[in-house]
Amino acid sequence: MKVIEFTGTPKSGKSALVKRLIDYLGEEKVSPVYEGYRMCPFKDKKGAHFEQQIWVIFSIVNKILEFKNSGTESKPEFLILDRGLWDQIVFINLLKEKGLITARQYRELSLFLKPFLSLTDLIFSFETDPQISQQRQKEEGKKPRFTLKDLTLMNKIAKDLLPPSTIHLDGSKTKEELLREIVKEVGL
């Protein structure tokens, strides 16, 4: 039983690859946990960045602990996190850099997260050029959530903070190429 995290810039292929991995391995082998922010009941509340991060982090930790501590009967082999705890480390750094959370809030979130980071067995970091990320959002008819500067900073923070064991993937590759790389790295 492994916990695998997909982290990276928006529109780098994370969610699409979670779905492809489920199709490839079958639902009985993979249990997905999709981006917690999407489920946050107050995600649209202005200025609630600290509270949103607490909710998202608790949600992810809860899912991992349920997976790790439930019985082995009919349990999937893999829990796939579409933006997990390591992604939260990167994101709270971005929030701090942009002044959207205080240095104290950043420290509190970081200290809370630290003991749980070891629960993730394998990390795939999807790296996409910021302009490609924004273009993909526009193609979907969405207004980009992050500026080019934000996306560049996210890539830099990820490179600086993710552990050396992280497997870095080029998010501009096709989904099929990325799926093959993931399957190979997982040893399937």
What is the Cβ-side half-sphere exposure of residue 181, based on CA atoms within 13 angstroms?
16
Residue 76 in contact with residue 30, Cβ under 8 Å?
A: yes
3-state secondary structure of 179: helix
Query: Beta 122-127 vs 30-33: how paired, if at all?
Result: unpaired
Q: Residue type for 137, please?
A: Q
Q: What structural domains does the chain harbor?
A: 2-186 (3.40.50.300)
Confidence check: pLDDT of 188 > 90: no
Query: For 43-66, what is each residue's pLDDT tens digit?
Result: 777 778 888 999 999 999 999 999
Residues 6 or more apart from 34 whose CB is under 8 A from it? 15, 18, 82
The 10s digit of each residue's pLDDT in 68-119 is: 888 767 778 899 999 999 999 999 999 999 999 999 999 999 999 999 999 9
- Distance set, CA 125 to CA 66, 102, 119, 130, 159 (Å): 24, 26, 17, 14, 9
Distance CA 11, CA 130 (A): 9
User: Is the dihedral angle over the CA atoms 159, 164, 166, 172 positive or is it negative?
Assistant: positive
CB 106 within 8 A of CB 95: yes
**What dihedral do alpha carbons 183, 12, 63, 27 form, nearest 10°?**
-40
- For residue range 152-176, list pLDDT tens digits in order: 999 999 999 999 999 999 988 899 9
CA distance 94 to 49: 11
Minimal CA–CA distance to 106: which of 164, 163, 57, 34? 57
- Residue 162 carries which DSSP code? S
Predicted structure pTM score: 0.89
